[in-house]
Amino acid sequence: MRKVRRGISDGGGNREEAKMEEDGVNLNWSLPVPSVQELVRQQRPDVVPPRYLRDDMVLADHRRESSQGLPCIDLGKLMDPPSRSTELHNLHSACHQWGLFRLVNHGVSDEGLRMMQENVQGFFELPYHEKQKSAQRPGSLEGYGHAFVTSHDQKLGWNDMIFLKCLPNHERNLDLWPQNPPEFRIALEKYSEDMRKLAVAVVNYIGMASGIHEGELDLLMKSFGEGKFEIRMNYYPACPEPERVIGLEPHADISGITLLTECADMPGLQVLSNDDCWVTVPPVHGSIIVNLGQIMEIYSNGTYKAPDHRAVVNKEKERLSIATFCYPSPSLPVGPSPQVLAATGLPPLYQTLSHSEYMQRFFNRKLDDAVPFIDTLKM
């Protein structure tokens, strides 16, 4: 496994971190790096520090194509028998063509969304020393910091984040859950339960759209009801040279599905279309973006896609977003659906793995691996 070069971190380092560097790296922990928010707040740079510059990326990638073709799915129509068939057809098309759609009439209360968004904003407005009470610990991605920083000379994204495991309850590390703002924990508990209920409903209809039914559909829903829910709250500061940095690098999620809400009206999420254009997904108040993860692409035997997406930044204003990664229960194997295989008559494109093996394969790969993770799982 690739070795990490020894160096000085802004946290001063310790023996545990040094041991991890000597042993090699995986993607299940991250080296401490400076806060981008504090960099902007204290130094107000006119130019971007070299470690954030991404001139290796084609500048044209930052063009913002029309978002008119992005699908919008109405959960109310899916729940209503007279309109269900037509909306299932629309859902199937969205999952096949884009792997991402805007969800409206989703049933999550405006109050629940507002409470979570305000508390996330409140957390990132705290003094740095207060946020540091939730800082990542050596050997874990959970907490306040950055994700997937595996070397001291690695290029960095223009973002800070706090990542917390929320469900099931026994997975929570409450030592890392902020106690400020005072209602943060209450908001996060309610929000994670709302996202679990929504994920079960969404997965139900995605399963129906893919052609599964009866026992297998019930098993899929039950698995997400008992599954893991992890929430990443992102802060992207305004940037003096937005065309030279990336907020979050292009990637596909490894979850079952991901549910994304925006904390305001500043766009930043982009999805890669079938014709290789980056399409901006504009925020729409009260809606939730559903993004298929690679577990669902595998489950559909490649019929549905887990899209590449990224976050860009801007010169004028900060952006905050909340991503909920929804995983099925570890008891559900990660592999193509038997009913999908039977209905299509196609051979399986992907191996069937245990949930733990699937996760281990992801976290034990190299960050700069040229082969997309999902391709390593093909038959």
Give residue-wise pLDDT tens across range 77-114.
Answer: 999 999 999 999 999 999 999 999 999 999 999 999 99
Kindly indicate the confidence band of residue 132, based on its pLDDT and cuts at 50, 70 and 90: very high
Note if the pTM is more than 0.95: no
Q: How far apart are CA 228 and CA 193, in angstroms?
A: 11
* Residue that has been written with the tokens 């893991």 in this structure: 228
Looking at residue 66, its pLDDT comes to 55
Task: Say which CATH topology domain 15-377 has.
Answer: Jelly Rolls (2.60.120)
**For the chain, percent of residues with pLDDT exceeding 70:** 91
Q: How far apart are CA 149 and CA 52, in angstroms?
A: 13
Cα-flanking dihedrals φ and ψ of residue 153, to 5°? -115, 10
Looking at residue 68, its pLDDT comes to 67
| Residues sharing a CB contact under 8 Å with residue 313, sequence separation 6 or more, in sequence order | 158, 236, 237, 238, 239, 242, 245, 246, 247, 268, 319
| Residues sharing a CB contact under 8 Å with residue 346, sequence separation 6 or more, in sequence order | 301
Q: Is the pLDDT of residue 315 over 60?
A: yes
Looking at residue 67, its pLDDT comes to 62
Kindly indicate the confidence band of residue 234, based on its pLDDT and cuts at 50, 70 and 90: very high
Kindly indicate the confidence band of residue 58, based on its pLDDT and cuts at 50, 70 and 90: low
Q: Which helix (H) or strand (E) holds 143?
A: strand 143-145
* Least confident range of 18-27, 222-231, 270-279: 18-27
Please state the rounded mean pLDDT for residues 182-205.
98
Please state the rounded mean pLDDT for residues 294-298.
98
Looking at residue 16, its pLDDT comes to 44
Q: Which helix (H) or strand (E) holds 324?
A: strand 319-327
Neighbours of 101 (CB within 10 A): 24
Grouping H, G, I as helix, E, B as strand and the rest as coil, residue 17 is: helix
Q: Is the pLDDT of residue 61 over 60?
A: no
Neighbour order of strands in the sheet with 228-236:
72-74, 100-104, 288-292, 257-262, 319-327, 228-236, 160-167, 143-145
The rounded mean pLDDT for the chain is: 91
What are the structural domain ranges in the chain?
Answer: 15-377
